[in-house]
Amino acid sequence: MREELLREVFLDLQEQQRRNEETERFRKRDIRARYPEIAAMLEEREGLIRESVQGILAGRTVPGELETRMDAVSGKIRRALKEKGLPEDYLAPVYECPLCRDTGYTGDRIREKCACVIRRYQEKLRQAMGIPENGRETFEQFDETVFSPEPMEDSRYSQRELMNRVREACEAWTDAWPDQPKRDMLLSGKSGLGKTFLLHAMAGRLIGRGVSVLLISSYSFLETARKSYFEHDGGMEELISVPVLMLDDLGSEPLIQNVTIEQLFNLVSERQRRNLATVISTNLNQEELRSRYTERIASRLTDTRNCLYLPLRGRDIRNGRG
């Protein structure tokens, strides 16, 4: 996914450059058609540019006088445009990013991806992972008032207090990256308690910091695992190697013989072996995890030496069910 999204970013930039060139050509045609005196100045400047380029190609030093003349003509063009009520930079090169001029790279000797590429990539990554673009699902937008302030049954804590503690734990884990004491996290609780919201908030914060994150549903995991098993397409490698993998709603996917449990075990164990971070949300409790995925998987997902286990309780905030 990461490589595909990055290719899309550079294809978008190529299209942007094409539009830039069309805009530049239109503006020059517009000036030549309406203002012949400015067009003459353009021809003069282009002649000086050709003379400068020819000198460089011939190995000659471009005289300072030539540069001075070019600057003088450019100044006349800007003043003439202003007199006609047009922006002074109307005939300047067109681009959206002043750092890379829409090429995607900065630097002469050492070329690096421009900040605009990273920003575009992050936007595409958020879209691909279903993270809302309007900033609704962030730690800053977490609204404790949707949770009941009354003590929960068999507990001296309210759902509001519990969820505040869970949010604080998720935010602290995210901000500590990559120096968390525990690499994995398991958010466990019934539907409608805010697990997906927290995953989106964590992913958004990490993406904003430039961390490579992949957030997928359990159905997407199963489809990738199925193709890897039956078609040997190698799609599991990205899930295994991404620094932070977030798997949402584990337990809602079908169980396919020789695929679901085996591939999940391989995924979790290999990521732990590589010391990579895995964040999982599930509607299942620990006993249900053992029953569905076997003890060897459940023990890896709930091992408190390596995993931050966060059980969620309370009412479904979407419809008020307990």
pLDDT 10s digits, 204-222? 899 888 888 888 889 888 8
**Tally of domains within the chain:** 2
Exposure string of 40-75, with b = 16+ CB inside 10 Å and e = fewer, is: ebbebbeebeeebeeeeeeeeeeeeeeeebbeebbe
Residues of the chain with pLDDT > 70, as a percent, come to: 93
- Please give the mean pLDDT across all residues of the chain: 87
Q: Are residues 254 and 305 in the same domain?
A: yes
Give CA–CA dist 13/139, Å, rounded: 32
- Out of 29-38, 56-65, 234-243, the most confident range is 29-38
Q: Are residues 100 and 141 in the same domain?
A: no
> Is 322 within the bounds of a domain?
no
pLDDT at residue 62 tops 80 = no
Give CA–CA dist 175/204, Å, rounded: 11
For range 62-91, the mean pLDDT = 86
Q: Are residues 55 and 87 in the same domain?
A: yes
> Is 121 within the bounds of a domain?
no
Q: Are residues 178 and 284 in the same domain?
A: yes
Domain termination residue (choose one: 53, 84, 115): 115
Query: For the chain, what is the radius of gyration of the CA atoms?
Result: 29
Q: Are residues 93 and 178 in the same domain?
A: no
Domain termination residue (choose one: 115, 150, 177): 115
Q: Are residues 300 and 186 in the same domain?
A: yes
Residues of the chain with pLDDT > 90, as a percent, come to: 49
Q: Are 134 and 128 in contact (CB under 8 A)?
A: no
Residue numbers of the domain that contains 259: 129-311
For residue 175, the Cα-to-chain-centroid distance in whole angstroms is 17
pTM over 0.75: no
Q: Indicate the SS3 state at residue 211.
A: coil
Q: Are residues 108 and 242 in the same domain?
A: no
Angle (CA) 100-104-110 rounded to 5° is: 75
> Is 146 within the bounds of a domain?
yes
> Is 321 within the bounds of a domain?
no
Q: Are 99 and 78 in contact (CB under 8 A)?
A: no
Q: Which amino acid is at 84?
A: K
Q: How confident is the model at residue 202 (pLDDT cuts 50, 70, 90)?
A: very high
> Is 215 within the bounds of a domain?
yes
For range 23-36, the mean pLDDT = 93
Per mean pLDDT, which range of 54-68, 88-102, 130-144, 240-254 is the poorest?
54-68
